[in-house]
Amino acid sequence: MAEKAKLKKERRDTYAERYLRDIRKAARSSTPGRSLTAMESYTELKARQAKELNDFKGIFFAFNNKQFKEGMEKIGLTIEDKNQIYSLGAGGYIRKDRSKTFSAMFKRHAEEKNNRKKEEKFLFESLTYELRNHEFCITYDPSDALNALGYNKDDIDPKILKNAMAEAMQ
């Protein structure tokens, strides 16, 4: 048992060392306009993208007439300007003139996640996070977490998945 704990610690140290090496490399990089988002953790990426979505102008949710009227006023329209909005479904509405920007933001978010999942550390962290979020420690089934990330078992190195599942159990 002590051997297993030692191996887990060594694995964590290896990921920590890689992360620090990547941060140092990014700090030394003199590439103009280099985005430091490449160094974001999975939770930081999720939080940043959620903030962008929550701060997006021109969108509102309404579940009754009063909320609809307030939402229309919030986005600078009157109740008579219904032809200037699209329904997003589930009570969501967006100004037509903001819909392309909204779609572009979602596309960019998907591209960011897709590009980052190629990084072993990010993949491990995202798997661990979603396995914990989807109660892998109770179900022992990684499929919900994989679905949330848009992966299937064939997309992932079995060693990384196994290590993430072990980490999620702690």
> Per residue in 107-134, pLDDT tens?
999 999 989 988 999 999 999 999 999 9
Per-residue pLDDT, 26:
45
Residue ranges of the domains in the chain?
53-104, 117-170
Cα gap 33→6, rounded to integer Å: 41
Cα gap 25→6, rounded to integer Å: 28
Per-residue pLDDT, 24:
47
Strands in 92-95's sheet, in edge-to-edge order, are 59-61, 92-95, 85-89
Per-residue pLDDT, 54:
92
Per-residue pLDDT, 8:
56
Question: Which residues fall within 8 angstroms of residue 84, CB to CB, at 6 or more apart?
Answer: 77, 95, 96, 97
Contact criterion met (CB below 8 Å) for 134 and 168: no
pTM of the model: 0.70
Collect the ranges in the chain with pLDDT lower than 70.
1-38
